[in-house]
A = this chain, B = another copy of it.
Amino acid sequence: MNQPRTRAAWRSRLNEVIFGADTFAGKAFDLVLIVAIVSSLAVVMLDSVKSINREYGTLLRAAEWTFTLLFTVEYVLRLSCVDRPGRYARSFFGVVDLLAILPTYASLFVPGAQALLVIRTLRILRVFRVLELSSYVTESEQLARALTASKRKIQVFVFTVLILVVIFGSLMYLVEGAEGGFTSIPRGVYWAIVTMTTVGYGDIAPQSSLGQAIAACIMVLGYGIIAVPTGIVSAELTLGDRRRGEGRKSSMGRACPACGADGHAPDAAYCRLCGAEL
């Protein structure tokens, strides 16, 4: 009877350290983990540089395996200390944790698979856990709410851009043809995206006068059209902030002495719900 209890205590303690961020041990674990993730990412990146690979290849390979083994142990521990391992394994972080170790094992069979290790980047998202969590969550939620609220406006906008890009790309294919580098419609559409987003690589550029005139149109369009999503998000954030501000103001307002109702107008003399004098 003693053994299971110790085991349960151990599991609960492990859970606190690995998943929690309230205790000192929990915070320390998260910090070490983030340092390990960033280091392992650096190793993967450096390993992809030819000159470094030639000189320190063996060392980097060793480091990579060390990190992978560590992360494997961590993954197994996580699975073992949660109440429902299946649910964790299917959760976002569960999948990411698994994908973050698989490529190294896969590289035994498929050379080059290590590059997939960059999926470890997503693990860094845990960093928000270590920072003062709640305030960042509020900020993220505010951004997310603003983006959700303007989702449909943004869909209408993206749709318009897609249609413009297809039409302009095809037009340029017709006008410029293969000489200007517009060898096919998909390539023309690619050029239209490069131009409309004002990236402008210059690998494909119109040569004829008519092509340049059309290009000028799409540039001005792309330059001006960015105002629309920006305006949408600005408006949403401004209004969201105010709504929140109003909410806060009213919650600080006077409560009705008779019915306790809250949120009276600043100049209210009587409770709007029961008519009692405020």
Once the chains bind, are B226 and A234 in contact (CB under 8 Å)?
no
Q: How far is the CA of A239 from the CA of B163 in the complex (A)?
A: 29
Whether, in the assembled complex, A17 has its beta carbon less than 8 Å from a beta carbon of chain B, the answer is no
Whether, in the assembled complex, A15 has its beta carbon less than 8 Å from a beta carbon of chain B, the answer is no
Whether, in the assembled complex, A40 has its beta carbon less than 8 Å from a beta carbon of chain B, the answer is no
Whether, in the assembled complex, A21 has its beta carbon less than 8 Å from a beta carbon of chain B, the answer is no
Once the chains bind, are B273 and A270 in contact (CB under 8 Å)?
yes
- Other than the given A115-B174, A116-B174, A190-B215, 20 more pairs (CB < 8 A) read A45-B185, A45-B186, A49-B183, A49-B184, A116-B170, A139-B152, A139-B156, A140-B156, A190-B212, A190-B216, A193-B220, A194-B215, A197-B223, A199-B219, A223-B226, A226-B230, A234-B238, A235-B240, A265-B272, A267-B267
Once the chains bind, are A184 and B267 in contact (CB under 8 Å)?
no
Within 8 Å CB of A100, what residues of B?
A: none
- Of A6-14, A24-32, A63-71, A118-126, the stretch lying at the interface with chain B is A118-126
Q: Interface size of A by Cβ–Cβ distance < 8 Å?
A: 106
Q: Can you show 9 pairs from A to B with CB atoms below 8 A apart?
A: A48-B186, A122-B167, A139-B152, A143-B153, A227-B230, A231-B234, A234-B238, A264-B272, A273-B273
Closest B-chain residue to A112, C-beta based? B174
Secondary structure class of chain A's binding surface, majority of residues: helix
Given A265-B265, A267-B273; A219-B242 close (CB under 8 Å)? no
Q: How far is the CA of A200 from the CA of B275 in the complex (A)?
A: 65
Within 8 Å CB of A155, what residues of B?
A: 136
Once the chains bind, are B273 and A275 in contact (CB under 8 Å)?
no
Within 8 Å CB of A121, what residues of B?
A: 163, 166-167
Within 8 Å CB of A122, what residues of B?
A: 163, 167
Given A136-B156, A232-B227; A219-B237 close (CB under 8 Å)? no
Q: How far is the CA of A241 from the CA of B236 in the complex (A)?
A: 9
